[in-house]
Amino acid sequence: MTEPSGAPFDPSNALGDPGWQPEVRAKGGPLNVGVPDTALDFLTHGPLEVRACSSRGWSHRYLGTPRQDSFCLWADDQVLVVGVADGVSESPQSQVAAETGARSAVKLAADAVARSGGVDWVNLSRRVSLRIVDEAEYRQLAAAAGENPSIEARLRATRQAMATTLIVAVIRTTPTPDGFPCEVGVVAGDSAAYVLAGGALTPVSGGKDLTGPIASSHVRPLPGAVEPESVRFHLRPGEALVVGTDGIGDIVGDGTGEAALVLAERWTRPPTIDRFLCDVNAYRRTFDDDRTAVVVWVSADAVLPPVPADEPVVAAVAAEAVVASEEPSTEASSGGGADASDASDVLDAPTIVLEILSERPEADAATPADQGDEGDSPQ
């Protein structure tokens, strides 16, 4: 096959049948301003090695619409935090919600660890929701009617303009005898996390509901009431954590398919960033959604502390699922994502919102663009 003129990737860069994707020419549009087709990042943080890539899907490239996936990384002496968000396509400005959600979530999670030693995922979901509403109103992308609109009205107006899924991983930089403690919070939606060990990708949290004859794509996005779930486990030397949106999760599935096995082999060790870019953008027929993957490898040479004489070793990937909901929330609207017509899908009650607002530092009174979420940063 002759390479089409102007193709961004070699046609051989495929996972199975590439379909028509090598022939797509990426277009631009007014909503793409400030949103590059692809975002890359990489870093070494002690024994942890990171590769991150978020790329516009082939359908968005064809239509000239922006990438609505986003990721953000936070690294300090205590933790490495990964935030991955997938904007809901039914809302036209969801790229803003995804970027705001990922950025504010990693800062809030790092701040929670620094202040109290752990993350309250329900509280984080509420605060991220407020950040998204604030950003939508600051950018004049959403505005509820009336002089003093209720929080319910503000949420409805925001979700009509922008909404997002969110998954966050917190990896402790200080190991225990069992490995590096890791907690993944599926705050909202169907993004997923996998552990890569022994040459195989094993789902540990999130993803689409595969129990029925058809995989469910129904999501309850932010901003709004959600029921976060978290799972805790340890990463051992030589293992990796993969966090991705459904553009990656749909390809990987339960980790047993051909494409999943190929990626598991390629990602056994950290690839070069250009190779990782190609892996995330590999052609695969019908899989044309935005794709975001952040992979964190633990160095095979990392040294774990010895086991205390009176403590048994816990199985490395024996995950403990923790449902983080504190109280039930009303069922969201039907359909796949940000349906803002259901007034019951709010942050549980305006009273709770007022409690959260009262907890904010004074610096949070600045506009979102001026503040840059500095009020959420660890002190």
Q: Average model confidence (pLDDT) for the chain?
A: 83
187-191, 193-197, 292-296, 321-325, range with the lowest pLDDT: 321-325
pLDDT of residue 373 exceeding 60, the answer is: no
pLDDT recorded at residue 9: 87
Q: What is the pLDDT of residues 78-124, one digit of tens each?
A: 999 999 999 998 899 999 999 999 999 999 999 999 999 999 999 99
More confident position, 361 or 201: 201
Q: Which helix (H) or strand (E) holds 250?
A: helix 246-252
Of residues 32, 90, 102, the one with CA closest to residue 61: 32
Mean pLDDT of 134-156: 90
pLDDT of residue 287 exceeding 90, the answer is: no
Of residues 359, 355, 361, 357, the one with CA closest to residue 326: 355
CATH class of 39-210+219-301+314-327: alpha beta
pLDDT recorded at residue 325: 45
pLDDT recorded at residue 47: 97
Q: What is the pLDDT of residues 205-243, one digit of tens each?
A: 988 665 544 344 557 899 999 999 999 999 999 999 999
Q: What six digits make up the tokens of 312?
A: 């048994």
d(CA 292, CA 267): 15
Q: What percent of the chain has pLDDT over 90?
A: 61
DSSP letter string over 97-154?
HHHHHHHHHHHHHHHHHHHHSS--HHHHHHHHHHHHHHHHHHTTS---SSSS--HHHH
More confident position, 124 or 308: 124
pLDDT recorded at residue 207: 80
Q: Are 204 and 291 in contact (CB under 8 A)?
A: no
Instruction: Label residue 359 exposed, middle or buried (CB < 10 Å: 0-12, 13-18, 19+).
Output: exposed
